[in-house]
Amino acid sequence: MLSQLWPALRINIFLTILLGVAYPLVVTGISQLVFPHQANGSLITKDGKVIGSELIGQSFSKPEYFQPRPSAAGNGYDPTASGGSNLGPTSAKLIRGTTKTDDKKNEVVDFDGISLRTVHYALENNLPYESSAPLERFKNARGDLDDVKLIKAFNDEKAPLVFRAQAPIPADAVTASGSGLDPEISPANAGIQAGRVAKARGVSPGQVRQLVARFTEAPSLGLLGEPRVNVLKLNLALDANYPKK
Q: pLDDT tens digits for 74-117? A: 888 888 889 888 999 999 999 999 999 998 899 999 999 999 99
Better-predicted residue by pLDDT, 128 or 11: 128
In this prediction, residues 179-189 reach a mean pLDDT of 95
Please report the pLDDT score of residue 62 as a whole number.
94
Please report the pLDDT score of residue 227 as a whole number.
95
pLDDT at 122 over 90: yes
Whole-number Å distance between alpha carbons of 149 and 162: 14
Better-predicted residue by pLDDT, 163 or 222: 163
pLDDT at 61 over 80: yes
In this prediction, residues 159-166 reach a mean pLDDT of 96
Look at the alpha carbons of 147, 149, 150, 151 in this order and tell me if their dihedral is positive or negative.
Answer: positive
Amino acid of residue 51 = I
Whole-number Å distance between alpha carbons of 92 and 63: 30
pLDDT at 1 over 80: no
Percent residues over pLDDT 70 in the chain: 99
Better-predicted residue by pLDDT, 194 or 47: 194
The Cβ-side half-sphere exposure at 126, using a 13 Å CA radius, reads 10
Please report the pLDDT score of residue 224 as a whole number.
85
Confidence of residue 9 (pLDDT cuts 50, 70, 90): confident
Whole-number Å distance between alpha carbons of 201 and 209: 13
- Answer yes or no: are the C-beta atoms of 75 and 33 closer than 8 Å: no
Amino acid of residue 239 = D
Confidence of residue 131 (pLDDT cuts 50, 70, 90): very high
In this prediction, residues 135-152 reach a mean pLDDT of 94
Please report the pLDDT score of residue 43 as a whole number.
84
133 phi and psi angles, rounded to 5 deg: -145, 145
Helix (H, G, I), strand (E, B) or coil at 105: coil
Please report the pLDDT score of residue 188 as a whole number.
97
Please report the pLDDT score of residue 44 as a whole number.
86
Look at the alpha carbons of 199, 201, 202, 205 in this order and tell me if their dihedral is positive or negative.
Answer: negative
Which range has the worst mean pLDDT, 1-5, 29-33, 46-50, 167-171? 1-5
Classify each residue of 132-141 as buried b or exposed e, where b means 16 or more C-beta atoms within 10 Å of its C-beta: eeebeebeee
Better-predicted residue by pLDDT, 112 or 244: 112
Percent residues over pLDDT 90 in the chain: 66
Confidence of residue 245 (pLDDT cuts 50, 70, 90): confident
In this prediction, residues 176-187 reach a mean pLDDT of 93
Nearest alpha carbon to residue 128 among 195, 73, 212, 55? 195
CA angle 232, 237, 239 (to 5 degrees): 100
109 phi and psi angles, rounded to 5 deg: -75, 130
Q: Where does residue 19 rank: exposed (0-12), middle (13-18), buried (19+ CB within 10 A)?
A: exposed
Please report the pLDDT score of residue 31 as a whole number.
87
In this prediction, residues 152-168 reach a mean pLDDT of 96
